[in-house]
Amino acid sequence: MINAKTIFVAGLMGLSLMSTSALAQDASSSAASTAAPASSAAAPATSSASATPAVAEGDTVVKQHWSFAGPFGTFDKNQLQRGFQVFKEVCSTCHSAHLLAFRNLSEPGGPEFTEAQVKALAASYTINDPDADGGKRPGLPSDTWPGPDQTPADLKAAFGIVPPDMSVLAKARSTEDRFPNWIFNYFTTYSEGGPDYIHALLTGYEDPPADFKLPDGKFYNRIFPAHAIGMPPPLTDGAVQYAPGPDGSTVPLTVDQYAKDVAAYLMWLSEPHLDQTKSAGFRVMAFLLLFAVLMWMVKQRLWRKVH
Amino acid sequence: MATESNLAHDETPDPGKRDFLYIATAAVGVVAVGGIVWPLINQMNPDASVLALSSIEYDLSKIETGQAVTIKWRGMPIFVRNRPQKEIDEARAVPMDQLKDPQTDQDRVKAGHDNWLVMIALCTHLGCIPIGESGDYGGWLCPCHGSQYDTSGRIRRGPAPKNLVIPPYKFLTDTKIQIG
Amino acid sequence: MSAHETTKYVPSHPVARWFEDRLPLLGFSRELMDYPTPKNLNYWWTFGGILAFMLGVQIVTGIILAMHYTPNAALAFDSVEMIKRDVNGGRILQSIHATGATMFFFAVYIHIFRGLYFGSYKAPREVLWILGVIIYLLMMATAFMGYVLPWGQMSFWAASVITNIFSAIPIVGDPILQLLRGGFSVDNPTLNRFFSLHYLLPFIIAAVVVLHIWALHVPGNNNPIGVEVKDKRDTVAFHPFYTMKDLFAIVVFCIPFAWLVFFAPNILLSADNHIMANPLVTPPHIVPEWYFLPFYAILRAFDFNFILDSKLLGVIFFGGSILILFFVPWLDTSKVRSGNYRPAFRWFYWLFVINFLALMWYGSQEPATPVIGPFTVADTSKLSVLYYFAYFLVILPLLGRFEKPRPLPNSISEAVLTQPRAVSGADPAMPTAH
């Protein structure tokens, strides 16, 4: 009998039929839409490995466990603060973040610095303001993050392109899942392709293979398309000194840790309201389920009379 | 016949339990509608970037006695004037019955900071910006329709009904105020 | 307005009577509520109501977004981000509008495929069907322009590729292209006019929807067995039976909708669209939104020259694949409406559905992607395109002549009594009508 179940199964069968051969192909063949840095030609190859980090081999992105993953995930405030520190001390030298306002750093759902801390931080930066004396003034919490000191032209000369703005970088990058994994993503709500990619890239610097021709001024990276990236490896062990947590706990000062922290921070920067959206979502879903049950009962009650 | 009846009101005989279901569902429906309508209206309220500028701080240290500056707060011009003692005395000498909008000078400044006058620089008539150190009362003169304010910013002559409005502000330190 | 008899409604309150004499709104709404609807409609019939709901959702959220959006090439991208960050509830409102487009198309495909299966396009409902195809076209235009507005890389390049279609038209193609774009390439003028039209079209859709419902009410609804309503025993009043059933379906529909909105708002969006539009850099894979993929596959399948050059061929078949829908009422020659009574038709229909999904997948893949053995997407998609057109031009006309349909029940009431639950949801063991 033709009903919803039949169609669903038929559709799935049809899709699997088509994709079986494609699935059997080498993982590095190009497939549907992925994100890639603007200057690349090929798509980054990925794996559909499970959340448990495995030994990275070849040029695959190993997915990480993120505190904010899944419907129940939330940001880890301490991780966001550490990530902000990495961003501030390392990344912001060359990368802008023009959609970040200082006040965002004290808003709920983020690193949640205190308002006093944010005020002091903002004041430590000089903002161009045509209304101010001499055209410059100390920053205010309402100001947005000032760009790097060097001009875009200088940066382009140094790196070949202007380093991309970081405001939505974690949304502008992704990993790719082959069929049928991408179907499961709709149920696990996997949205962490950006942080996974960023972490993999930052930990993906290594010596090029002997036969690899690395163009001048570029650096070898396992993850970056065509393996030649203009960004010099930004992180080294011990580069950023984290203060211990309120309870005295510490994290290892390693590239892997910095990469995780800054990737989580960049995810927050892209989606500052993630936590609030998810908690609103729970209330809406619970309400809808209740409402659906009630409507079902009303409909049944009415229709019982009809033959 | 159930197929024919206009069922705006259910007529089949079985009250109580059946009615409760319909009422409960309708109530849940009303909650749904309310829960949907409120965010649709609330989005028109000032957004976070506007609210971030709802309160500003200003450093008074550069304003010398007898000087005034005009700054912007919530999109409005604000006069900040460092009054010499002469102007304060003049303002306090005015009897209340001479004022269209009676208000003492002490009420218009913060205690211990009597020299600082902070006012919204919009004439209370129709909103033009008055010109400082003009008019017959040593204060401000509005060029649009001739309202004149004294050294405390109070209306003395002209069509304006009220004194220049004092915004909510406080002294964070002796040289720094927060407006809003 | 309809073929059914109606008694004039006289309100009890004198003010209501005064108004009713001048503009009979209350009587009109009573007519709609009492409208005799076949009592055996199944859940595939709830998608009309769902679509009306979605149109309302998109219009309301769209108008709200327009209060905060800036349609200028330099500012659009940031204005969308600022909606998500600063506007009260903005993240959710934007998410509803973007995800709503997908849900809208999901519902419209189900609604169309319902019509194709149950023969809802057959006489006397041909105009109803044609109005529906017009709504579908308007929806596609609206969605296409809406996708350009955030001015990301995909927005820009999709606009470039699709407007380029017009350059395929011989002689007048390039001037038309420049007129459309307002320049030599997609740029600020294009964005501005797309914003204006994107705001306008949904209201035109709403007007055509009114005509669509009017055209429905003249003959009345089709139903799963395709046998027309004979008398009152075959019908129930629209309110409360179908109002409540539709409302239930809408609430259930909102569950996956809310799931995506709140927990996976970016999952359908290409990551490249979070990079601001750059006319000097093409993204590695330009892919339209999923609901356009089958037609994109048809467009790309024509990579060979045959009398006309491949680009023009592709455009003609791309347009043809949608325009052919207008002719379905005449292409299908069967006297039997419902697929439930057409066993041979069923096989071809479900193959068509699977083929449509295959075309959707093809549209998402690069032409060089291997499918089976040495054959690539470019090769096998041609077979799918062939079946798509053959279904309408060859199979439907021939089936009507040669297939052997099952015997139809005499009436809806009879069918409801003899068929198991699946058809109408009513309990067959209960005694007959009153």
Segment C138-166, tens digit of pLDDT: 999 999 999 999 999 999 999 999 999 88
Residue C93 contacts B, CB cutoff 8 Å? yes
Evaluate whether residue A153 is within a structural domain: yes
A162 & A236 share domain:
yes
Residue A52, pLDDT > 80, answer no
Evaluate whether residue A229 is within a structural domain: yes
Query: CA-CA distance, C308 to C306, in Å (whole number)?
Result: 5
CA distance B92 to chain A (A): 35
**pLDDT of amino acid A245:** 85
CB contact (8 A) between residue A285 and residue C244:
no
**pLDDT of amino acid A51:** 32
Residue C31, pLDDT > 60, answer yes
Residue C431, pLDDT > 60, answer no
What H or E segment, with its residue span, contains residue C321?
Answer: helix C310-323
Let me know if A57 is exposed, middle or buried by CB neighbors in 10 A (0-12, 13-18, 19+): exposed
Asked which of A193-197, B157-161, C411-415 is least confident by mean pLDDT, the reply is C411-415
When pLDDT is averaged across residues A263-292 and rounded to a whole number, the result is 96
CA distance B50 to chain A (A): 9
Evaluate whether residue A13 is within a structural domain: no
A55 pLDDT band, cuts 50/70/90, is: very low
CB contact (8 A) between residue B4 and residue C39:
no
Range ranked top by mean pLDDT from A7-21, A200-214, C195-209: C195-209
Residue C426 contacts B, CB cutoff 8 Å? no
When pLDDT is averaged across residues C237-246 and rounded to a whole number, the result is 95
A249 & A160 share domain:
yes
**pLDDT of amino acid C370:** 87
Which positions ≥6 away from A232 have C-beta within 8 Å?
A219
ipTM: 0.88
Query: CA-CA distance, A155 to A256, in Å (whole number)?
Result: 26
Residue A5, pLDDT > 80, answer no
Given a contact cutoff of 8 angstroms between Cβ atoms, the answer to whether A83 and A263 are in contact is yes
The structural domain count of chain A equals: 2
Instruction: Report chain C's mean pLDDT, rounded to a whole number.
Output: 92
Residue A291 contacts B, CB cutoff 8 Å? yes
Closest-CA residue of A relative to B32 is: A287
**pLDDT of amino acid C295:** 96
CB contact (8 A) between residue B32 and residue A142:
no
A182 & A305 share domain:
no
Closest-CA residue of A relative to B19 is: A298
**pLDDT of amino acid C275:** 96
Segment A206-233, tens digit of pLDDT: 999 999 999 988 999 999 988 999 999 9
What's the DSSP call for residue A205? B
**pLDDT of amino acid A3:** 61
Evaluate whether residue A238 is within a structural domain: yes
**pLDDT of amino acid A54:** 30
When pLDDT is averaged across residues B121-148 and rounded to a whole number, the result is 93
Residue A280, pLDDT > 60, answer yes
Taking one residue from A and the other from C, the number of pairs with CB-CB distance under 8 angstroms is 184
Q: How far is CA B87 from the centre of its chain?
A: 26
Q: Which residues of B are catalytic?
A: 145
A157 & A293 share domain:
no
Residue B142, pLDDT > 80, answer yes
CATH code of residue A49: 1.10.760.10
Residue percentage of chain B with pLDDT more than 90: 85
Chains with 3 or more CB pairs under 8 A to chain A: B, C
Residue C11, pLDDT > 50, answer yes
Asked which of C35-39, C194-198, C415-419 is least confident by mean pLDDT, the reply is C415-419
Residue A283 contacts C, CB cutoff 8 Å? no
A82 & A184 share domain:
yes
Residue percentage of chain A with pLDDT more than 70: 80
Residue A41, pLDDT > 90, answer no
A63 & A185 share domain:
yes
A37 & A157 share domain:
yes
Please report, as a single letter, which amino acid is at residue A20. Answer: T
When pLDDT is averaged across residues C271-286 and rounded to a whole number, the result is 93
Residue A291, pLDDT > 80, answer yes
Cα R_g (chain C), whole angstroms: 24
A176 & A226 share domain:
yes
> Which chain A residues are closer than 8 Å to B25 by Cβ?
291, 294-295, 297-298
Evaluate whether residue A16 is within a structural domain: no
User: Dihedral of CA C84/C85/C91/C93: which sign?
Assistant: negative
Domain that holds residue A289: 280-307
Angle at B161 between CA B157 and CA B167, to 5 degrees: 110
A268 & A200 share domain:
yes
A251 & A182 share domain:
yes
Predicted model pTM: 0.86
**pLDDT of amino acid A18:** 41
Evaluate whether residue A74 is within a structural domain: yes
Residue percentage of chain A with pLDDT more than 90: 65
**pLDDT of amino acid A246:** 86
Please report, as a single letter, which amino acid is at residue C73. Answer: A
Asked which of B73-87, C161-175, C318-332 is least confident by mean pLDDT, the reply is C161-175
> Which chain C residues are closer than 8 Å to B44 by Cβ?
67
Higher pLDDT, C228 or C417: C228
Higher pLDDT, B62 or A10: B62
CB contact (8 A) between residue C373 and residue A288:
no
What H or E segment, with its residue span, contains residue C237?
Answer: strand C235-237
Evaluate whether residue A136 is within a structural domain: no
Evaluate whether residue A119 is within a structural domain: no
> Which chain A residues are closer than 8 Å to C244 by Cβ?
295, 298-299, 302
Per-residue tokens: C74: 């330099």
A170 & A94 share domain:
yes
**pLDDT of amino acid B17:** 66
**pLDDT of amino acid A7:** 54
Q: How far apart are the first and last CA of chain B?
A: 67
CB contact (8 A) between residue A29 and residue C372:
no
Instruction: Report chain B's mean pLDDT, rounded to a whole number.
Output: 89
A52 & A151 share domain:
yes
Segment C53-94, tens digit of pLDDT: 999 999 999 999 999 999 999 999 999 999 999 999 999 999
Chains with 3 or more CB pairs under 8 A to chain B: A, C
* CA-to-CA dists, residue C13 to C6, C7, C19, C20, angstroms: 21, 18, 10, 10
**pLDDT of amino acid C143:** 97
**pLDDT of amino acid A30:** 35
CB contact (8 A) between residue A291 and residue B49:
no
Segment C202-216, tens digit of pLDDT: 999 999 999 999 999
Residue A2, pLDDT > 60, answer no
Per-residue tokens: B62: 């550069």
CB contact (8 A) between residue C266 and residue A171:
yes
Residue A70, pLDDT > 80, answer yes
Minimum-distance CB partner of B7 among C67, C92, C237: C237
**pLDDT of amino acid C416:** 77
Closest-CA residue of C relative to A68 is: C263
What H or E segment, with its residue span, contains residue A22?
Answer: helix A4-24
In A124-165, which ranges are continuous DSSP H helix? 152-159
Asked which of A36-40, B20-24, C133-137 is least confident by mean pLDDT, the reply is A36-40
